Amino acid sequence: MVMKEFELIERLTAGLPAHPAVLTGAGDDCAVLDLGAPDALTLFKTDAVVEGIHFTADCPPEKIGFKALARCLSDLAAMGGTPVAALVTLGLKRDFDPAFVEAIYSGMNALATRVGMAIAGGETTTNPERLLISISMIGSVPRGMQVLRSGAKPGDAIFVTGELGGSLQGRHLEFEPRLAEGRWLAGNFKIHAMMDLSDGLAGDLRHILKGSGVGAELLGSAIPISRAARLHARAESSAKPPLLAALTDGEDFELLFTLPSRDAVGLLDAWKGQFPGVKLSCIGKITSRQGITLRDKHGMRQLNADGYVHFS
């Protein structure tokens, strides 16, 4: 039996050495470090994309570079942070095309310039079978303003930005990291918990619930389903139903967060003026009962579906 990703992570992180400067370690979107700056904490993140898993060999190289960097930026956004610099490790096949690699960097450089961060160097190595890109990134967040996964409380409203599902129809290569939205949320509302959606709503929500010791009730009709997911379901008889796609497809890179229900209406009103081009949906509430229940046209039932799981 092959061990799944999060089972492996739990085993590997059980005995990690600690340091007083590490305020938040394994188990959140970024590590949070106190390096002595009077007004800011440091966010530290690493992520990798692998040919055949996160992109195909025929993907435009600029989009590969964009995605490699944007995935880390999405994690910083979920902490309310601002990117500072990244290091890039490239694992290249022996017969790599230099122009192709330069185009990957062109995609990364364009995104880094747009968000105001540096690419400060990195490493190259041989990876015989497939292209691999690993990004290590640091960012900053005002001291005391970092948002973790572990603060959700019973009665909180659950929100998600954007639309979900159907990412493999192209959006996984050209999503927008919600940096401005994450900073605005952290700076203007009491956000109890937040993370980015990389492995699907059904799977990622469970990380917030586990870290917070709570459960959730989702309203199926409120979950924002992307047009791509709906069109794919119509075109392919073997495709997932749109709601299931929105719950489990993954690679949406939207923000999932909770805040006190009394602030929900004020948030929605303020959001319309701040981010008119980005949808915001209240999709349910946090409960004291463990697990996830889904209320839809079939009634109330336990949600057993999961998101994308590596090694499964």
Q: Show me where the domains of the chain are located.
A: 17-142, 157-302
The pairing of strands 215-219 and 193-196 is: unpaired
Architecture per CATH, 17-142: 2-Layer Sandwich (3.30)
**What pLDDT score does 3 carry?**
67
What distance in Å separates the CA atoms of residue 118 and residue 258, rounded to the nearest whole number?
31
Count of CA atoms in the C-beta half-sphere (13 A) of 124: 8
Q: Say what the pLDDT of residue 310 is.
A: 43
Structure tokens at 175: 């999503």
pTM: 0.94
Q: Residue 145: its pLDDT value, please?
A: 96
Sign of CA dihedral 222, 277, 159, 26: positive
Maximum CA extent, the chain = 59
Fold of 157-302: Phosphoribosyl-aminoimidazole Synthetase; Chain A, domain 2 (3.90.650)
Amino acid letter, 232: H
Q: For residues 47 and 135, give the distance between their C-alpha atoms in angstroms, rounded to a whole number.
A: 5
Distance CA 40, CA 139 (A): 10
Per-residue tens of pLDDT for the chain, all 312 residues: 566 766 787 888 788 899 999 999 998 999 999 999 999 999 999 999 999 999 999 999 999 999 999 999 999 999 999 999 999 999 999 999 999 999 999 999 999 999 999 999 999 999 998 999 999 999 999 999 999 999 999 999 999 999 999 998 999 999 999 999 999 999 999 999 999 999 999 999 999 999 999 999 999 999 999 999 999 888 887 788 999 999 999 999 999 999 999 999 999 999 999 999 999 999 999 999 999 999 988 889 998 877 544 433
What is the number of other CB atoms lying within 10 angstroms of the CB of residue 100? 14
Write down the pLDDT at residue 1. 58
Q: Give me the residues paired with residue 217 across strands.
A: 285, 293
* Residue written as token pair 């796609």: 245
Enumerate residues 6+ apart whose C-beta is below 8 A from 246. 163, 164, 165, 201, 223, 224, 225, 226, 229
| Cα 109 from Cα 86, distance rounded (Å) | 11
Burial-class residue 122 by CB neighbours within 10 Å (0-12, 13-18, 19+): middle
User: How do 193-196 and 291-296 pair as beta strands?
Assistant: unpaired
Q: Counting Cβ atoms within 10 Å, is residue 280 exposed (0-12), middle (13-18) or buried (19+)?
A: buried
Q: Are 149 and 206 in contact (CB under 8 A)?
A: no
Pairing of strands 291-296, 215-219: parallel
Question: What pLDDT, on a 0 to 100 scale, did the predictor assign at position 311?
Answer: 34
36 forms beta bridges with none
